[in-house]
Structure 1
Amino acid sequence: MKNVLITGATRGLGRALTVQLCEQGYRVYASGRDAEALAQLQQQTGCLGSCADLADAEQVTALYQRASDALGGIEVLINNAGMNTRKAAVVDTELAEFEWQYAVNLRAPYLLCRAAMSEMQPRGAGQIINVISTVAKRSSPTMGVYTTMKQGLAGLNNVLMKEAQPLGIKVTAVYPGGMDTEFRDQARPQYIRPEQAAQKIVQLIQDPPELVTHELLFRPPAELE
């Protein structure tokens, strides 16, 4: 089974991914900011892991190296971590929250993708999965900063996909629709459950080598676009 690094692994989709992959025998290195939640996840699944603040570029690069050393190399990178400070019109946002979202939602995935490519390229094999959001497919009022970062990540993913595929490395952009996670202020039972979304991503990892999925978009029936 493959060695997998997952960011944002202590809650929601990342946690569901860690549980499902460990149950199927994958060797997982999980990362998140909540040390207690990470310890519980490690106890439950047997995964490896460590905490990291993805807003700190040095911690991001150190995380990748720790994970690679612990697993003996990373074969699958899942950039799942993401955050949105709040909903607000662009005119009402602050530079500090723009920079924070940039660091977590765009710079951290860039650094991890770059590190993964450096490791995977000599092997001629590997897989990078960038969990974006259907917000990148829209231009929603009050979501300006978050949308900017997610559309930026989509652009990075699409260029990387073209650079990586001739080298034998798969790169996929995943666009989940509304998901019922702690990311939201209140429960949304009409939305996708994290376990359902995780199943879709696990399938990407299990696809045969000759099948490459460039983009995976899925939504709950409650969403029409």
Structure 2
Amino acid sequence: MVGRHLCCVCCLLCCAMASAKHLRIIVTGGTSGIGKVLVQQLAASGHRVFFTGRNKEALQGLASCEGVRGSSGDVTNEADVERQFSEALEFLGGLDALVANAGCGAGRQNFEDLPAEQFDRVFSTNVRGAFLWTQRALRVMKPQGHGQIVMTSSVAAMRPCPKAAIYAASKAAVQAMVLSLRAELKGSGVKIGSVNPGAVATEWWGDEGRGGWTKEMGPGSALPFWNDMLRPEDVADGIMTLLTQAASSNIESLVLDPADAGGVAPPDVAKRQRVD
């Protein structure tokens, strides 16, 4: 019995050591917002990171960090993903974790006014992009018997989100993909979970091309509820929780609200009156 207890203690110690080791991680959408902060946090913690993005200047800036390399490409383009995944494996020397973080929105628009091409862009980036990267990561992780995948989703996937129905629908698809894969991966040693933040204070809100922008604001204008949002560091911390969780746990989903959130839909930019 004593020997068995000692074995159990040794196993727990090994799990603790494994969770503290330096990981080899891919982060998509790593040149701005949540992804950029996450890459910086991972590098500061000694992890080896390969990240993707479209902003070549931002790629070069982050890639100057030790143990970090960036690559320009489109997460929706299968050839780009194949090339970048090969680059990642060569640089990292293996793969312990993937953070499928790249995403976009379609601004705050009434459903009937949304152009079909914006629907295609949002679903292609948020769903197809996550699918392509996860598919390739699983081809490495399943044979080796371990790995962690984190998908950046949104509270919009589970709460009403006026004027953002297509974005919300794309994130609901991400949630469904995570839940289905959790069942499929049972017993494989590979984990997958999602992080679901509320509104996050990043440049996403001031850029029509990224999706937070709305006509009531005007390009580049400040949001009146900016200080009510989560910080990108808060979300990066949540992602780190999944990446470094103990071997004995398998987190399905983290939902992140700002400290004073009431669990309601995001505020309407046109109606919110408070100015900081």
Q: TM-score, normalised by structure 1?
A: 0.95
CA RMSD of aligned residues (A): 1.4
- Offset from partner CA, 1:79-100 (integer Å, 9 cap, x none): 1111012221221111111111
**1:213 aligns to 2:251 (yes or no):** yes
| SS of corresponding position for 1:184 | helix
- Offset from partner CA, 1:75-130 (integer Å, 9 cap, x none): 10001111012221221111111111111000010111111111100111000000
> How far apart, in 2, do the equivalents of 1:31 and 1:59 lie?
10
- Offset from partner CA, 1:137-186 (integer Å, 9 cap, x none): 12322111111111111101110111123101111111011211111133
Task: Tell whether the 8 Å contact from 1:55 to 1:100 is kept in structure 2 after alignment.
Answer: no
Q: CA deviation at 1:45?
A: 4.9
| SS of corresponding position for 2:204 | coil
For structure 1, the 5+ residue unaligned runs are none
For 1:171, the equivalent position in structure 2 comes to: 192
**1:189 aligns to 2:227 (yes or no):** yes
- Amino acid of the residue matched to residue 235 of structure 2? A
2:107 corresponds to which of 86, 90, 93: 86
For 1:9, the equivalent position in structure 2 comes to: 30
1:1-225 matched pairs, under 5 angstroms: 1-185=22-206, 186-187=222-223, 188-225=226-263
For structure 2, the 5+ residue unaligned runs are 1-21, 207-221, 264-276
Q: Which moved more, 1:187-196 or 1:123-132?
A: 187-196
- Amino acid of the residue matched to residue 205 of structure 1? L
Q: CA deviation at 1:30?
A: 1.1
- Amino acid of the residue matched to residue 130 of structure 2? P
| SS of corresponding position for 1:55 | coil
> How far apart, in 1, do the equivalents of 2:65 and 2:227 lie?
25
> How far apart, in 2, do the equivalents of 1:15 and 1:29 lie?
12
> How far apart, in 2, do the equivalents of 1:41 and 1:193 lie?
19
> How far apart, in 2, do the equivalents of 1:49 and 1:27 lie?
11
Q: CA deviation at 1:221?
A: 2.4
Q: CA deviation at 1:28?
A: 0.2
Q: Which has the larger radius of gyration?
A: 2
Q: TM-score, normalised by structure 2?
A: 0.78
| SS of corresponding position for 1:88 | coil
Q: CA deviation at 1:46?
A: 4.4
Q: Which moved more, 1:55-64 or 1:128-137?
A: 55-64
> How far apart, in 1, do the equivalents of 2:66 and 2:55 lie?
16
> How far apart, in 1, do the equivalents of 2:79 and 2:162 lie?
33
> How far apart, in 2, do the equivalents of 1:154 and 1:203 lie?
18
For 2:6, the equivalent position in structure 1 comes to: none
Q: Which moved more, 1:105-114 or 1:186-195?
A: 186-195
- Amino acid of the residue matched to residue 95 of structure 2? I
| SS of corresponding position for 2:187 | helix
Task: Tell whether the 8 Å contact from 2:62 to 2:70 is kept in structure 1 after alignment.
Answer: no
What's the % identity of the aligned pairs?
A: 29
